[in-house]
Amino acid sequence: MDLVNNERRMLKGMLSKPNDEWSLEQLLDVTGWSDQVHVAGAGKGLEELGLVEVEENFTRMASLGPEGRKAAENGLLESRLWEWISNKEEGQRSMDGLISSGFDRNETGPGIGILKGLGVAIESGKLVFSDEEEITNKIQSRTNFIDLLSNGDMDSSTLDKEMISHFSARSGLLEFEENVSRKWKLTKSGASIDQSALSEVQLIGELTPEILQTESWIGAEFKTFDVQAPAPTPLGGRRHPMQSLIERIRSVFLEMGFSEIDGDYVQSAGWNMDSLFIPQSHPARTMQDTFYLDNPDKVEVENSYLDLWAKVHEHGHDTGSKGWGGSFDKDESQRALLRTHTTVNTVRHIAENPDSPSRVFGIGRVFRQETIDRTHMPEFHQIEGIIHEPDANLPMLISTLKTFYAKMGYPDIRVRPAYFPYTEPSAEVDILWKGEWLELGGSGIFRPEVTEPLGTEWPVCAWGMGLERLAMLILGLDDIRQLYQPDLEILRKMPLL
Ligand code: PHE
């Protein structure tokens, strides 16, 4: 039989001398334990094995509550009232007299109620009753009950039931406490166990180099572990799930040979939009989408760029394009705004490094006037990147994105034709998730209207993907707001990446 040491010790103790049933004290004595937890635990184990029977006796101990202790000292309210009443002449037992005779204000009200229950009535202000002796006896037995309990706690099953229910209904008079007492008995199979088989064994809980070297493990018994046992979840610190995701994305792009860039939240409309050949009358530039700023209300842009963009927008300059026509507004170009996409970073990177090939990425916050709901927030993040080199091309763009998403755990992607004012061709990128295609962002090859004013003629593969959408998939969320609420409960339970 597979017994743990505590069970062996308890069983051995119970077999050491004949005893029909064992109390806790006797078991503590025979096992040498000082803690009843050991007895309870080992007893339970032995009970499950059918070697011991545990008998539990529940007792409800009654004692006097705070009001009860007062009554034991000063007499029950009814007994004090009754003393006043029965000492008065019949004609003088009036309510007014009672009230003015020194009883506490808050005693007379409940007191009258109690007296009525005993057979006292009030007739035109006078207290009347018929059987004086009976009332006296009833009150006496209540007093006796309180006196009995004033000597100490009593098992409520030994007490008068009517008294218990009467006093339980009055507040503060009685208190109860549940007690369990246990007795342990050997069963037949417990009593037939051979004592010599019960010596305690040294169980090995952890293998050490010494145990291995001395070969004491040979024939040793090992402690079993219950891997299903409930255990507390350790609440150590952890990164915010969004931050770990950003770290993960960062390391994937670094692994793929990209370098990281970043930029400011506050930008000019020129760099955020005009440089990308977004026409100044484009709907995306109206107040609905963009947060324009009052302070600063202007971000200066170098004149050389303003001149170039003006020409490209108005007639295409020498990019081979016809431009958008109309007249370009250089003041509009210098309006300050919160960047609406991180494409502003990659464009500026090309402008600053027109002659050196580059593969760069950035993960950054962008701002758009959106109504907050399950899938939208006015602040979110984009995963932006470009490949700027002489042989950049569309297949290279697609395979780069495919590699990125495969490394993130989404090997199936597809691209669909799309439109952006600054790319040609343009493609929308979807990933396959639980059998559904989900749109994650835009991409394309920058148009010459974008690249030539920046000083390069090489093609540029460019993309801008949503971070939050990806986070929702990876973290299994159905509401984007869960990512940003400081609800530690929810955050702790989000998967580790
Ligand atoms: N800037 C686009 C957006 O915010 C994404 C994009 C980036 C598209 C680069 C094409 C090229 O949705």
pLDDT tens digits for range 291-303: 999 999 999 999 9
pLDDT number for residue 95: 85
Task: Please give the average per-residue pLDDT across 13-38, as a whole number.
Answer: 93
One-letter amino acid identity for 213? Q
Quick check: 462 pLDDT over 90? yes
One-letter amino acid identity for 215? E
pLDDT number for residue 435: 87
What is the Å distance from ligand 1's center to 100 Cα?
A: 91
What is the Å distance from ligand 1's center to 223 Cα?
A: 60
Which atom of ligand 1 is the closest one to the Cα of 446?
11
Q: At CA 283, angle to CA 278 and CA 287, rounded to 5? A: 110
Give the residue, by CA position, lying nearest to ligand 1 atom 9: 463
> What angle do the packed helices 36-48 and 24-31 form, to 10 degrees?
100
pLDDT number for residue 287: 66
Ligand 1, pocket residues at CB < 6 Å: 341, 343, 420, 423, 441-444, 462-464
| CA pair distance 24, 184, nearest whole angstrom | 8
What is the Å distance from ligand 1's center to 441 Cα?
A: 7
Higher pLDDT, 234 or 165: 165
pLDDT number for residue 481: 92
Decide if 337 contacts 291 (C-beta within 8 A): yes
Reference 331, options 308, 352, 315, 310; nearest CA is 310
Mean pLDDT score across all residues of the chain: 93
What is the Å distance from ligand 1's center to 382 Cα?
A: 9
Give the residue, by CA position, lying nearest to ligand 1 atom 4: 341
Identify which of 340, 343, 380 to mutate to test ligand 1's pocket (most ligand atoms within 8 A of the CB): 343
Q: What is the DSSP string of 337-368?
A: EE-S-THHHHHHHHHH-TTS-EEEEEEEEEE-
Burial state string for 406-426 with b = 16 or more CB within 10 A and e = fewer than 16? ebbebeebebeebebbbbeeb
pLDDT number for residue 204: 84
Identify which of 275, 276, 341 to mutate to test ligand 1's pocket (most ligand atoms within 8 A of the CB): 341
Query: Positive or negative CA dihedral for 362, 363, 368, 374?
Result: positive
| CA pair distance 429, 436, nearest whole angstrom | 13
State pTM to two decimals. Answer: 0.59
What is the Å distance from ligand 1's center to 469 Cα?
A: 15
pLDDT number for residue 105: 77
| CA pair distance 257, 389, nearest whole angstrom | 14
What is the Å distance from ligand 1's center to 262 Cα?
A: 16
State residue 411 phi and psi, 5-degree precision: -75, -20
Which tokens in the block code for residue 231?
Answer: 């255990």
* Rounded (to 5) percent helix, strand, coil in the chain: 40, 20, 35
| CA pair distance 236, 243, nearest whole angstrom | 16
What is the Å distance from ligand 1's center to 463 Cα?
A: 6
Task: Please give the average per-residue pLDDT across 111-118, as a whole number.
Answer: 91
What is the Å distance from ligand 1's center to 478 Cα?
A: 24
- Model confidence at 78, in pLDDT bands (50, 70, 90)? very high
- Give me the percent of the chain exceeding a pLDDT of 70: 99
Please list the alpha-helical segments (H only) found in 36-187: 36-48, 66-74, 77-87, 95-99, 105-118, 132-150, 161-168
Which tokens in the block code for residue 50?
Answer: 């059918």
pLDDT number for residue 202: 73
Least confident span in 131-140, 233-242, 342-351, 464-473:
233-242
Which residue is it, tokens 């009950």?
Answer: 145
Give the residue, by CA position, lying nearest to ligand 1 atom 12: 442
Decide if 95 contacts 129 (C-beta within 8 A): no
Looking at mean pLDDT, say which of 105-109, 152-156, 282-286 comes out highest.
152-156
Which atom of ligand 1 is the closest one to the Cα of 443?
10
| CA pair distance 195, 197, nearest whole angstrom | 5
Which residue is it, tokens 């406490």?
Answer: 177
Decide if 312 contacts 321 (C-beta within 8 A): yes
Which atom of ligand 1 is the closest one to the Cα of 442?
8
Higher pLDDT, 217 or 202: 217
Which atom of ligand 1 is the closest one to the Cα of 346?
9
C-alpha dihedral (316, 447, 259, 378), degrees to nearest 10: 90
- Model confidence at 1, in pLDDT bands (50, 70, 90)? low
| CA pair distance 82, 76, nearest whole angstrom | 10
Q: What is the pLDDT of residues 124-149, one digit of tens each?
A: 889 999 899 999 999 999 999 999 99
